[in-house]
């Protein structure tokens, strides 16, 4: 059982972080960044995040796993059909990777290859079903596997999405299809997360709240304009704009978010975007 699964099962508040593969073959900065992480249970390895082409998430996750860093492998439906997805999951199992975050993925039009043809052979619910099938010993065609993988599959959710009822219907489908934990998109307000966690209580599936380190008001506006599902509230943008030291204010906002996430959730997922050295300050 992965460390992430053990800690969540034991009621321990977990901290996950995030590393993006390079746009190229130089893994040294990512591996060095992972070594510097402190107080983190597992590290997400993103999969062509924002529909921007980068080195394979599986390749970097395998390197990190072999060097002793527990990973959460992200896989999206955008770039692969069901055969490729199953192959990559079996490959992950061969490298000892158990934690998964299975995503539909942002549409290619939002990224650096807008002319790329998206696949979306499956959606995230179907991919969870697929992972459950592999763990039961068969592929999607019903053929038996020679060696069965063990996974701890997770899914993503946006607690502030509206209409709430429609969003939560998909959450329950993901749980029924085998989601063992959820990581949320960036949360910025207490109210929507509290409402979501109240609805989650009967499902008894742990939730790890996404906390994004914002470095400036300009960054916050960029996120609102360009990143699907992210909506930084205007009062937070004004705090960053009025601050003499926007980075320090961004750290303060992230600390506050972690504070009320501790009261509601089972962990936090820190998105520090290259400022992993600030994680101890966010958790302080």
- Do residues 4 and 65 touch, judged by C-beta distance below 8 A? no
Q: Give the residue-averaged pLDDT of 123-131.
A: 98
Write out pLDDT tens, residues 23-60.
999 999 999 888 888 889 999 999 998 889 999 999 99
Residue ranges making up the domain that contains 107: 3-211+266-274
Cα-to-chain-centroid distance, residue 173 = 18
Structural domains of the chain, count: 1
In a domain, 77, yes or no: yes
How many residues are there in the chain? 284
Is 125 inside a domain boundary?
yes
pLDDT for the residue 282: 94
pLDDT of residue 247: 95
Please report whether residue 40 resides in a domain.
Answer: yes
Q: Note the pLDDT tens digit of each residue in 198-248.
A: 999 999 999 999 999 999 999 999 989 888 778 999 999 999 999 999 999
pLDDT at 187: 96
Q: Computed from CA positions of residues 77, 83, 84, 89, in that sequence, does the dihedral angle turn out positive or negative?
A: positive
Distance CA 159, CA 186 (A): 9
Question: The CATH number of the domain where 181 resides is what?
Answer: 3.20.20.220
Q: Is 19 part of any domain? A: yes
Q: Is residue 144 part of a domain?
A: yes
| 107 domain-assigned | yes
Mean pLDDT over residues 168-194, rounded? Answer: 97
Q: What is the structure's pLDDT at 227?
A: 81
Which pLDDT score, from 0 to 100, does residue 85 have?
98
Classify residue 25 by burial, with Cβ atoms within 10 Å: 0-12, 13-18, 19+.
exposed
CA distance 170 to 104: 12
- Round the average pLDDT of the chain to a whole number and report it: 95
pLDDT score at 15: 97
Q: What is the pLDDT of residue 204?
A: 97
Reported as a pLDDT band with limits 50, 70 and 90, residue 276 is confident
* Angle CA 28–215–69, to nearest 5: 30
> Quick check: is 217 in a domain?
no
pLDDT tens track for 74-118:
999 999 999 999 999 999 999 999 999 999 988 888 888 999 999
User: Is 257 within a domain?
Assistant: no
pTM for the model stands at 0.95
**Helices of type H across 141-270:** 164-176, 190-200, 217-226, 234-242, 246-264
Q: What is the pLDDT of residue 47?
A: 96
């Amino acid at each position: 059982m992965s460390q992430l699964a053990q800690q969540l099962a034991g009621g321990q508040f977990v901290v996950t972080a995030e590393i993006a593969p390079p746009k190229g073959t130089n893994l040294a900065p990512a591996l060095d960044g992972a070594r510097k992480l402190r107080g983190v249970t597992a590290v997400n390895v993103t999969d062509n995040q924002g529909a921007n082409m980068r080195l394979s998430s599986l390749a970097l996750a395998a390197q990190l796993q072999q060097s002793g860093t527990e990973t959460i492998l992200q896989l999206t439906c955008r770039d692969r059909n069901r055969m490729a997805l199953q192959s990559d999951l079996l490959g992950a199992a061969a490298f000892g990777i158990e934690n998964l975050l299975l995503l539909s993925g942002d549409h290619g039009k939002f990224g650096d290859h807008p002319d790329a043809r998206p696949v979306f052979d499956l959606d995230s619910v179907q991919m969870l079903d697929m992972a459950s099938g592999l763990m039961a010993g068969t592929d999607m065609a019903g053929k038996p596997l020679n060696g069965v993988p063990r996974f701890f599959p997770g899914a993503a959710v946006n607690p502030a999405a509206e209409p709430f009822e429609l969003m939560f219907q998909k959450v329950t489908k993901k749980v029924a299809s085998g989601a063992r934990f959820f990581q949320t998109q960036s949360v910025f307000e207490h109210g929507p997360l509290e409402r979501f966690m109240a609805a989650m209580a009967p499902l008894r599936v742990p939730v790890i709240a996404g906390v994004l380190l914002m470095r400036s008001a300009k960054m916050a506006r960029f996120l609102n304009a360009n990143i699907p599902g992210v909506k930084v509230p205007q009062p937070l943008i004004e705090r960053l704009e009025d601050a003499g030291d926007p980075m320090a204010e961004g750290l303060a906002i992230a600390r506050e978010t972690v504070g009320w996430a501790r009261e509601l959730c089972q962990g936090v997922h820190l998105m520090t975007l290259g400022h992993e050295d600030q994680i101890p300050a966010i958790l302080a």
